[in-house]
Each structure stands twice: as structure tokens, then as C-alpha cells.
Homo-oligomer: A and B are copies of this chain.
Amino acid sequence: MKRISVLKPVLVSNKNRAQENRKFFDNMNSLVINIIASPGAGKTSFIRRIVEHFKKDFKILVIEGDIKGQVDSKALLKLNVDVIQINTQTECHLDAFMIAQTLPKIRETYDLILVENVGNLVCPAEFEIGEDFKLAMLSTPEGDDKAFKYPLLFHLAKVVVINKFDLLPYVDFEFKKAKDRIRENNAHAKIFDVSAKTGKGFDKIYEFLRKELFAKKGSSIHKK
């Protein structure tokens, strides 16, 4: 007798759809980064710095995932960057189908697509969307134990950004502890400590991303 599984096919389909999305992005040689963090960790401020730094040389799209509203999109549009807003209504994460719905709106070739996922350390990690890699962000006021408490995200992330280093004197956060917690889940993640508020630490991220962008584009950099 065959058992009928309800959950599995849905997840498999998300994976398939993510692969289709990935093909679409690969055809454009777009580097797609899925940015995942708690509410208020500083995702939008981080994206703002990346956009400001790279927009002269690369064509950038931001896909903004929020349950409701367009606060962050409106802030980003001021930077003169293309933004697509996804409102998930009640869903606590983006999935490959939501991203698929944005594809018909993508009518230009982008070098870099930054996807700001819904603020949440759990569910967004479970759903691939067609990204090149996941960037996990945590901020110093959240404490240094987050990678231990939310292991899947930190296991899957290629890059971990620890934000709000300007608050370090005022919060209980040990960088070494946080790093050890991340390493327990992930031996190879690149770890960056930054302040999106002051800009400190971003030079290393810019250098890293520039290499990733060139690797993705090969020799055919699409200048804006």
C-alpha cells in the first residue's frame, strides 16, 4: 500500500520552483543573495550601503519581502535603485513561488539581486528561492547565542554578518562566543562584523561581494 504524503510534495515543488528561478537568474548572470535576519537586525540599512557602494558599476535590483507595507521599499527607491515589493500577507517567509511571481516584472538584466526576506530566523531558512547563497545577519543586541538557538539558518548561510557593532559597549555580546556558536553549525561561513549605521567593517564585505560578482559574471560584466 502506498502512503500518501501531503507535506513532502509541497516542499519538493518549492525546491523545483527554486531551481527554475535559479535558471532564470543564471541566464542573466545575476548574483542573487537571500538576506535573512530577525526583525530590526538592520537588513534594510545593510542593503542601503551595498546599493550605494555598487550602483555606479553594477545594475542592482532589490526584492523586498514583508508581511505588510512598503516602508523599506520606499526608503530604498530614494537611492534610485529598482525595487520589487512582495507582501506575504500572513506568511512568515518568502518561498520560490512568490519569487516566481516577480520574474515577469524583471525586464532588465541585473548583476546583483538582493532579496530581503521577512524578518525571522526560522522559516525563511527552510525555503529556497533560487538564490546563489543565503546571507544570515544577526545584531549585537540580540545576544551571542543566536546561532545556537537557530541552527538551520546558520548552517546553511555562506555569509554571516554581525551588525550593530557600534552598540557593543552597551550590550552583552561577546564576539568570540558568537563566532564559536556560528562555527559549531558551519565551518566555512564567511563572518563579517560591521555597523550599518557608521559603515565600519563594510570594506571587507565590498571586497568579498565584488569577487562574487565578478565570479558570477565571468568576463561579461554588464555595466549600467
Q: How many copies of the chain does the oligomer comprise?
A: 2
- From B92, B141, B151, A67 is in contact (CB under 8 Å) with B151
A121 interface hit (Cβ, 8 Å): yes
A135-181 residues at the B interface, CB under 8 angstroms: 138-139, 141-143, 145-146, 148-152, 164, 166-167, 170-172
A162 CB to closest chain B CB (Å) equals 12
A203 CB to closest chain B CB (Å) equals 23
A119 interface hit (Cβ, 8 Å): yes
A57-98 residues at the B interface, CB under 8 angstroms: 66-69, 71, 90-92
A168 CB to closest chain B CB (Å) equals 10
- From B122, B151, B197, A120 is in contact (CB under 8 Å) with B122
- From B6, B68, B142, A39 is in contact (CB under 8 Å) with B142
Cβ-closest chain B residue relative to A91: B122
Provided the pairs A68-B149, A120-B120, A171-B167 are in contact, do residues A40 and B141 lie with their beta carbons within 8 angstroms? Answer: yes
Interface pair A150/B39, CB less than 8 Å apart: yes
Please, how many angstroms separate the alpha-carbon atoms of A90 and B171 in the complex? 29
A123 interface hit (Cβ, 8 Å): yes
Interface pair A71/B170, CB less than 8 Å apart: no
Interface of A is mostly: loop
Residues in B neighbouring A148, C-beta threshold 8 A? 68-69, 71
A109 interface hit (Cβ, 8 Å): no
A106-139 residues at the B interface, CB under 8 angstroms: 118-123, 126, 138-139
Q: Mark A33-62, 1 if CB is under 8 A from B, else 0.
A: 000001111000000000000000000000
Residues in B neighbouring A41, C-beta threshold 8 A? 142
Interface pair A146/B40, CB less than 8 Å apart: yes
